[in-house]
Amino acid sequence: MQRLSQQVWIGTEDWSVATLVSGIPGIHTIGTVLGISIKYAAIAGFETFESHVVSKLLRDTSNGMMDLRVDCLQNTDLYSMAVKNFSLDGYDMTSSYNVYKAVYAVAHALHQALGCDSGECQKIEVQPWQEVPPSICSPECPTGHRKLQTGQHKCCFDCLACPAHTFLNSTGSTWCQACELHQWSTEASKVCLDRTVLLLAWDAPLSLALLVLLALTLFMTLGSGVVFLLNLGTPVAKSAGGRTCLVMLLALTAAAASALCHFGLPSRPACLLKQPLFVFSFTVCLACVTVRSFQVGNSTIFSTL
C-alpha cells in the first residue's frame, strides 16, 4: 500500500472527476491523481463541412449505391448515418478530436524515430525510450529567472525575475545567486558587472587645487589659534573672546581637516570619521559664535546702563 501511495495517475476527464470513481472505498490510497480536463472549443468550419458532405452523399447515393470517391466517406458507418439523417449535434467532438491528436502525435513520433524525412523510412525497430513528443507542465525558465513551484509537482512552476544585485546564469534553479561586494546587476541579470570606482585621486588636478585651498585654510586657522594662545592674557585677546574664540578656531581647524578623508581610495576609518568629525566640529564652532554673541549683547546692555 505504501508503494501505491507514491505513484501518480494521469486520468482523463471521463473518470477522474466521476463520483463513481471517487466513491470507491480506499481510492485515496492509490496515490496522486492528475485529472486532465480539455476546454471545449468549436472547430471552425466543421458544421459547414458536415452539411455539405452529408448532403452530397445523399445525392450521390439516391440510387442505393455509395460513391466511395467522396472524401472522408470510405466508411460504411458514415453511409448509414447519412442515409438515416443522423445529426452530429449530440456527438462528442472534443473527445474525438483528442483521439485524432493522439494518433497524429504517435504518427509524427514514429516519423521522426524512423527517419522518414528523406522520403523513405528506415526499417529499424523502434524502442519505447526513443524520441517522442515532449509533455511538460511549464516551459523552461530563461536565464536570469528562477523557478517558483506552483503545485506539488516539480514540473509545474512560474518564472520569477531575479532581483537587482543578484544573478542566475543557468536554467532550472530555484535560487538566485548574490553578487560580490564589488559587483552589481540589474533585475533579471545572468551575470554581475564590476562596479565603476570614482574617487578624488591625490595627484588629480582637481584634487591638487582643493588641497592647496585646504592648506591655506588650515594655515590661517592654526596660525590664528597659535597667536591667540600666545596672547591669551592680553586685553585684546580677552575682548575678542579669549578661550571661547580659541575653541572656535580649533573647531574650524578640525572641520577643515575632515576634508582629507575624501581623497584617495575609501577606507573604513576614513568613512567612519569624515562626517562625524565635520558635524561635531562645526557644531562646536556655531555654539562658540552663539555664546560670543550673547556676551557681546550683555556687555552692550550693561555699558548703556
Q: What is the pLDDT of residue 2?
A: 38
Q: If you average pLDDT over residues 220-237, what whole number do you get?
A: 83
Convert the pLDDT of each residue in 175-218 to its tens digit: 899 999 889 999 999 999 998 888 888 888 888 998 999 999 88
Taking the C-alpha atoms of residue 73 and residue 84, their distance in angstroms, rounded to an integer, is 15
Tens-place pLDDT, residues 129-177:
555 555 556 788 888 899 888 766 677 788 899 999 999 988 778 889 9
∠ Cα 105 109 115 (to 5°): 145
Residue 270's pLDDT is what? Answer: 84
Q: Is the dihedral of CA 262, 265, 266, 267 positive or negative?
A: negative
Q: Does the global pTM surpass 0.75?
A: no
Return the minimum-mean-pLDDT range out of 34-43, 84-93, 106-115.
84-93
Candidates 205, 199, 291; CA nearest to 247 is 291
Place of cell 442515409: 83
In this structure, the dihedral spanned by the alpha carbons of residues 216, 217, 221 and 226, taken in order and rounded to 10 degrees, is: -20
CB atoms closer than 10 angstroms to residue 247: 18
- Residue 214: enclosing H or E segment and its boundaries? helix 205-230
Q: What is the pLDDT of residues 253-303, one digit of tens each?
A: 888 888 888 888 888 888 888 888 888 988 888 888 888 777 766 655 555
